[in-house]
Amino acid sequence: METQIKDLKARIVFNSRGEKAFEVDVIVGESVGRASAPAGASTGGGEAVPFPPSGPEGAVEAFKAYSNKFIGFDACDIEGLAELLHQIDPSPSFTNIGGAAAFAITVAAVDAASKALKVPMFKLIGGDKVYAHPYPLGNVLGGGKHAGEGSPDIQEFLSIPVGSRRVYDAIYANILVHKDVRRLIEKLDKTFAGGKGDEGAWAPNLNDLNALEVVSTAVNNVSDKIGFKVKMGIDFASGSLFDPKTGVYNYSRRGVKLTKEEQINFVLSIIDKYSPAYIEDPLFEDDFEGFATLTKASKNTLIVGDDIFVTNSSLLLKGAEIGAGNGVILKVNQVGPLGDAIGFAKVAKANKYTIVVSHRSGESVDPHLAHIALGVSSEIMKSGVVGGERIAKLNELIRIDELYGPLKMMKVIK
């Protein structure tokens, strides 16, 4: 069966936050593959820029000028598509065509090939190997750049069901934690009206310390109820806390400013008290050495880099040399083409980093993230807990389990 690209089209649609999003249709045979790019709010400095300076409309105009180069190209050739995109836009961060276009073209192409060949997308990405499910990691309480004034300074308090053996049970466990967190917030704040942040996590009028207590209690409650271990995770999104002018971490809601050493000690005290399975971006993105210090000091907690590595293989190799972190966030749109993100996953595996394939706070309703997570053998998929755009990815894991499984769960720190 031929998988040559016959045609492709681009348009502007909207993401879950109501922002303009770049969407592409790729036609292979009679099949239409489709993908629209997600968008971050707390982005790392080294990320591909989503749009050229002329904005989303300019990105669609630019697309019209170069898209014919893809006609006749093999939609299954994920690496070749990435190379062609780099030829079209040789700038280091896709400033000419926009990273959103690079994301959407490459993911839509694999979607089209998958439909034309009737082979699931994850197998086109991952090839012939044994597949296992990533553990779903979901934001249940949040603040920072994803929520309003009065919510916690720390961006995300997460749930990860490290003891579950089936993906359906794992997804359900996170949903139960999300529900229990609401109940516990209401006990502390009678005026809580059920507000949520961009990723569907509750956004209460609580400070970080209360939020830690609430989420820790909820994961323990659900562990007891469901019969397997559910643990807490935290994404500090430190880039949003760190003030480069003064060099301190500013927890404005609590009125606390921490030096680098105090920040490290704060993180270690949380690890000591709550044994979270997962900590993301505990330090700002240039502090490779601080990441290495924390990684050495925390045996049973993953120290995961998001803004520090931005799905960029060279930054990851720099980190690997000194043991900065033992987990990586993989967000395809941080780098642009799917092929580049797969290359990053290979570098992560070779250097024994746990891979966390992640959504963005502004998401599409596409299910593709689940296939990318399986395709690169990620141990964890971070994709929220509730909300249509989050559930779309989680439900896809359930379908894959039924159609191509049952699949075991990946191994992750317990």
**How many residues in the shown chain lie near Zn ion by CB under 5 A?**
3
Residue closest to ligand PGA, measured at CB: 40
Active site residue 69: no
Strand 31-36 and strand 248-251: the pairing is: unpaired
Task: Name residue, tokens 């270690």.
Answer: 268
Question: If contact means CB under 5 to 8 A according to the sort of partner, which of ligand PGA, Zn ion, none does residue 40 touch?
Answer: ligand PGA
Sequence-ordered list of residues with C-beta below 8 angstroms from that of 127, at least 6 positions apart, any chain:
none
Q: How far is the CB of 261 from Zn ion (least distance, A)?
A: 22
Question: Which of these is catalytic: 23, 156, 199, 280?
Answer: 199
Residue 2, burial from CB neighbour count under 10 angstroms (0-12, 13-18, 19+): exposed
- Among the listed residues 16, 31, 43, 216, the single contact to ligand PGA using CB under 6 A: 43
**Which run of H or of E encompasses 399?**
helix 388-404
Residue 159 touches ligand PGA, criterion: CB under 6 A? no
DSSP-derived secondary structure for 313-350:
HHHHHHHHHHT--SEEEE-HHHHSSHHHHHHHHHHHHH
Q: How far is the CB of 281 from Zn ion (least distance, A)?
A: 5
Residue 16 touches ligand PGA, criterion: CB under 6 A? no
**Which run of H or of E encompasses 248?**
strand 248-251
For residue 47, count other CB atoms closer than 10 A to its CB.
Answer: 20
The strand ranges marked E within 263-331 are 278-280, 302-305, 327-330
Question: If contact means CB under 5 to 8 A according to the sort of partner, which of ligand PGA, Zn ion, none does residue 207 touch?
Answer: none
Residue 231 touches ligand PGA, criterion: CB under 6 A? no
The residues with which 27 forms a beta bridge, in sequence order, are 7, 32
Residue 42 touches ligand PGA, criterion: CB under 6 A? yes
Q: Are 152 and 183 in contact (CB under 8 A)?
A: no
Active site residue 331: yes
Question: If contact means CB under 5 to 8 A according to the sort of partner, which of ligand PGA, Zn ion, none does residue 41 touch?
Answer: ligand PGA
Residue closest to Zn ion, measured at CB: 306
Nearer Cβ to Zn ion, position 235 or 287? 235
Residue 235 touches ligand PGA, criterion: CB under 6 A? yes
Q: How far is the CB of 200 from ligand PGA (least distance, A)?
A: 13
Q: How far is the CB of 384 from ligand PGA (least distance, A)?
A: 10
Site for ligand PGA, residues 90 to 149, rule: CB under 6 A: none
Which residue blocks in 95-166 are alpha helix, DSSP H? 99-117, 121-126
Residue 333 touches ligand PGA, criterion: CB under 6 A? no
- Among the listed residues 89, 111, 287, 306, the single contact to ligand PGA using CB under 6 A: 306
Nearer Cβ to ligand PGA, position 112 or 237? 237
Residue 238 touches ligand PGA, criterion: CB under 6 A? no
**Angle, in degrees to the nearest 10, between helices 99-117 and 78-88:** 150
Residue 23 touches ligand PGA, criterion: CB under 6 A? no
Site for Zn ion, residues 221 to 250, rule: CB under 5 A: 235
What is the spatial distance between Cα 81 and Cα 340, in angstroms, rounded to a whole number? Answer: 10
**How many residues in the shown chain lie near ligand PGA by CB under 6 A?**
10
Stretch that binds ligand PGA, among 27-35, 36-44, 111-119, 165-173 (CB under 6 A): 36-44
Q: Are 229 and 163 in contact (CB under 8 A)?
A: yes
> Per the omega criterion (within 30 degrees of 0), is the bond before 406 cis?
yes
Nearer Cβ to ligand PGA, position 27 or 356? 356
Could you give the residue numbers annotated as active site? 199, 331
